[in-house]
Every structure is written in C-alpha cells, then in structure tokens.
C-alpha cells in the first residue's frame, strides 16, 4: 500500500464495464444552449444503464 492508503491498480475496460453493468449506472445531466442570455435549446438527460437477467428482468414485456 502507498502512504495515502490506496494501491495503484490497473483495471481493464472490460472488467470496469462488467462491474458497472452488474450494479447499474445512473447518468443525469442538463445541457442548455443559449445565445445572448436567450435559451434556445434545453436537453435533460436521465438514463439508467444496467444488465438484464433473471434477478433483474427487462422493464418491457417480451414479444414472441
């Protein structure tokens, strides 16, 4: 361990994505395009990214 108590460790991108999808990720953001203090475009982003499995079913019905 280092003096700060944290160990430098490299993580592969695949491992990072696997960990994020296993627990789920929420992305939230706001974007406003304005010119001369006039709002022209406003975008609100709310996204949930997660894996779907037996314990966490898909939020939409399956079509057969």
CB burial of residue 38 (10 Å; 0-12, 13-18, 19+)? exposed
CA distance 31 to 47: 14
Q: Can you give the pLDDT at residue 43?
A: 92
pTM for the full predicted model: 0.43
Backbone angles phi, psi at 18, to 5 degrees: -65, -45
CA distance 16 to 9: 12
Please state the rounded mean pLDDT for residues 27-38: 92
Please state the rounded mean pLDDT for residues 17-26: 80
């Amino acid at each position: 361990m280092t003096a700060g108590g944290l160990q430098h460790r490299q993580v592969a991108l695949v491992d990072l994505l696997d960990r994020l999808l296993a627990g789920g990720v929420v992305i939230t953001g706001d974007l406003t395009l304005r010119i001369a203090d006039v709002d022209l475009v406003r975008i609100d982003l709310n996204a949930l990214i997660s894996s779907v499995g037996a314990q966490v079913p898909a939020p939409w019905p399956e079509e057969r």
